[in-house]
Amino acid sequence: MLFTSYRHLNFVAENTTIPYPFKLQGDMPPAKLIQWFKSTPDSVLFATSTFWQGVDIKGEDLSLVVIGKLPFSSPGDPVYQERCNRLGNSWFNDLALPSAILTLRQGFGRLIRGSNEYGVVAILDTRVAKSSYGKTIISSLPDVAITHNVADVKQFFDSVPSSAQKKTKKSAGVRVST
């Protein structure tokens, strides 16, 4: 699960009751956390900015990436705020949206790393479906099936072939947004 803030990550972790082993970014150094994730079957990792990019977990170790919110930069960051001020009225289309799309693509890229991989990216932020810029965001992502129905996700995972069959299957994915 990828979050845009530790506050949101901690809130979800404190209010989560899942029957799977899970850890939070910060529970151990990143390299050890990734190793734990890879070696612990059916595990869940709650992470923030560091894990949106540069993390390579291949194959069956990663089949679902949940993105809680679109990764827009914090308006409280003084450097970001100054860049926005310099762009004037075009700050959103020229800076905020392209930066969020790039980070989202990097987060999406955590899942499909090679041609024999599969999985689901669930984007829970309703702005993807309801905002004026949602279509721009969707069009920037890899071309895979989109659904708003959890039953479709279950059907997708039920249809995933056995390990032997996966070696010859092309990559596939389903994006889920609410």
Mean pLDDT per block of 10 residues along the chain (178 residues) reads 92 92 94 92 90 80 89 86 90 93 87 75 92 94 86 88 44 46
Please report the pLDDT score of residue 22 as a whole number: 94
Please report the pLDDT score of residue 59 as a whole number: 77
Give me 62's structure tokens: 């990663």
Please report the pLDDT score of residue 3 as a whole number: 93
pTM of the model: 0.82
- CB neighbour list of residue 82: distance below 8 Å, 6 or more residues apart: none
Please report the pLDDT score of residue 75 as a whole number: 76
Domain boundaries in the chain?
A: 53-73+104-177
CA angle in degrees (0–180, nearest 5) for 117-65-107: 90
Q: Give me Rg for the CA atoms of the chain.
A: 17
Please report the pLDDT score of residue 162 as a whole number: 52
E-strand stretches of the chain: 22-24, 44-46, 64-67, 118-123, 145-147, 172-177
